[in-house]
Structure 1
């Protein structure tokens, strides 16, 4: 039986994209979000890679994202007194750096304009599968029935636990994330991003078109804090810790000193998702951060989530049996997302490098960057394009689709 109606759990990034792509594929899709409204105000800035922007073209959201984003075409690594230009791909769109709440708004509005309905205050608690499809049960007592249910409900996915109660949860990287955009006398062209390895902690900064400087901090923190717990700590207290942590770094100390409590955004604990054994089960499937969430170092988290949402819709469009569609979707996506996760896994260990490791990095990184072939390193990641107009052939895991 072909799929005619899909229930999408989660209204952040992958949920609205999946719903819009499904609608484009001729499948009715409705988004159910636990929050009382569109997920505005959650998180700080993120980067969309060229492959992510190409995927957004398919659902008609790319131009709206470009209007609110800051393009970044160059990047450097800063270690101590050395700032080293990083190799760049040629012939691809710049990174588009956008505030997460703004991206949520654009993706929500694009979905609504395409005819996708959203329902809020719908926190999923259980799912019942039956001969006619699947019924979602929400905390307020309401229900919804469709042919399939797609979990786009983030790194702490309820749907993932329903698909596989033994599935691993997210791995805490022992860092808390922060972001701010400030007026600061830091020289940074508006199209350049700098990855800085400070004496005690890693940070990143880039120039904004209006002359301000945006920056993000990865603060080492052994104790896990939920987003609610991290935001319960007064911003003034976090600022004191950040200023102490970056006191010996330039321009880290200037960025921290220029940041006010009102400007500081606490983005919470940093995680990665270990490989998830089961991407789907019965009439349920996972997409986005619910099934793959590489380190923020990858620069691919949001882009991969967008790609997977669209590929899932493409599989459900072309393959009548949902189980076969889900298996094909996993065969298409798992090798790609796990390859990205593997590429960046080693980098996380350098974010809080000690003094000896920092000296080694200062010596090795210029040589490494000079020898790097950007096409070989990340050309396949950034040049990837979803062949939306091509039909999907059913596949098994380990085979091409």
Structure 2
């Protein structure tokens, strides 16, 4: 029987509310502590949830509320050198669900509150003190809180990761800044389609949400690292000039950027990818979501993996007798899967900033590679993953469970 009765969840983005809601479902009291002054409804732009991520949300009852704000994407295409190549997908799976990150945060936050999760804001974690019977978190405002465990859902710049092991690596900068916008679909693109486009100078992508709306995103090469705050301190007009210079000659990328205004440009700052983290947990502290595994946005799995890990962590804390055994089982359940996805994404990420010669080679070779791709082998294993919430976690079976 588990001795874990309470948890402090640090971070209120995506993984935090899902973790706390799953913990409550598992019979464990959970409270979320967020460094921002309120819910993080203004961070980020659009993202795609894969079938495996939505299935994990169904376990905590959040699947349908998220589907209600999402647009299904049933067709994927690659655009390179002016060629459009349909990308094969695994058969028999639900479509991707494209959501506005702001709306997703709000739905997950509201769903957690309805389930009984409490949130506290302006709570920036500075240190913890562990004892035999619990752990106390101390915040920058002088307050503190005590529970059986502390769960770091505090993103790629995780404070909890550094408390677990100061030598744990931080995120790698991909050499690109993220931008996005919602624009009117006035050029007749087919709804329900997502296109990964290698422009003449840089990579971008777009999703045709419906007859009226297109969501597009740019991965702008930029040597200097800029945090979200630093990137947003630069006038939007400057970034639009850079985007027009970079994508202006592309079709339809040039049209997208010309239809983007300073008012609707979403600036997300540096794009990251987490290298493998050696230590996921120590004592009564553990990591979840982007704090421990943040694959490049090329993966299409970042949010979905975070949601899966949140649910699996709750299962382990529910079923195993103490935090140490629960955390070890959780890591065994998750590490191989998330690192496999991250490795796939890292390879794709290198193709986003090719030189002129490599770009010409890509225009010839990549369509051939896409046509020969086995979608079940490359994506099916990732997207068919399902969590059996009702099955007890049995550590002795994990190594053979995959």
TM range (shorter): over 0.9
Note the alpha carbon deviations across 1:138-178, whole angstroms, 9 max, x for none: 01111100001100000000000000001100000010000
Name segments (4+ residues, structure 1) moved above 4 Å.
Answer: 395-401
Partners of 2:136 and 2:156 lie apart in 1 by 22
Q: 1:66 aligns to what SS in structure 2?
A: helix
- Answer yes or no: is the 8 Å Cα contact 1:52–1:306 preserved in 2: yes
- Answer yes or no: is the 8 Å Cα contact 1:18–1:309 preserved in 2: yes
Partners of 2:384 and 2:169 lie apart in 1 by 31
Cα offset, 1:188, TM superposition: 2.2
Partners of 1:186 and 1:320 lie apart in 2 by 59
Q: Which residue of 2 aligns with 1:43?
A: 44
Q: How does 1:2-401 map to 2 (within 5 A)?
A: 2-395=3-396, 400=401
TM-score (norm 1): 0.98
Cα offset, 1:134, TM superposition: 0.2
Cα offset, 1:93, TM superposition: 1.1
Q: 1:35 aligns to what SS in structure 2?
A: coil
Cα offset, 1:399, TM superposition: 6.1
Gaps of 5+ in 2: none
TM-score (norm 2): 0.98
Partners of 2:125 and 2:242 lie apart in 1 by 37
Gaps of 5+ in 1: none
Q: 1:352 aligns to what SS in structure 2?
A: coil
- Answer yes or no: is the 8 Å Cα contact 2:204–2:219 preserved in 1: yes
- Answer yes or no: is the 8 Å Cα contact 2:173–2:271 preserved in 1: yes
- Answer yes or no: is the 8 Å Cα contact 2:75–2:193 preserved in 1: yes
- Answer yes or no: is the 8 Å Cα contact 1:17–1:309 preserved in 2: yes
Partners of 2:269 and 2:209 lie apart in 1 by 23
Partners of 1:227 and 1:81 lie apart in 2 by 32
Partners of 1:25 and 1:398 lie apart in 2 by 23
Partners of 2:397 and 2:176 lie apart in 1 by 38
Partners of 1:241 and 1:41 lie apart in 2 by 23
> Cα–Cα, structure 1 residues 225 and 396, in superposed 2: closer, same or farther, change >3 Å?
farther
- Answer yes or no: is the 8 Å Cα contact 1:324–1:395 preserved in 2: no
Cα offset, 1:400, TM superposition: 4.5
- Answer yes or no: is the 8 Å Cα contact 1:227–1:268 preserved in 2: yes
Cα offset, 1:133, TM superposition: 0.5
Cα offset, 1:355, TM superposition: 2.1
Note the alpha carbon deviations across 1:180-218, whole angstroms, 9 max, x for none: 011254342110001000111100011122512210000
> Cα–Cα, structure 1 residues 152 and 396, in superposed 2: closer, same or farther, change >3 Å?
farther
Partners of 2:139 and 2:177 lie apart in 1 by 31
Partners of 2:235 and 2:308 lie apart in 1 by 37
Q: 1:292 aligns to what SS in structure 2?
A: coil
Q: Pairwise CA RMSD of aligned residues?
A: 1.3
> Cα–Cα, structure 1 residues 194 and 56, in superposed 2: closer, same or farther, change >3 Å?
same
Partners of 2:99 and 2:401 lie apart in 1 by 34
Cα offset, 1:34, TM superposition: 0.7
- Answer yes or no: is the 8 Å Cα contact 2:185–2:208 preserved in 1: no
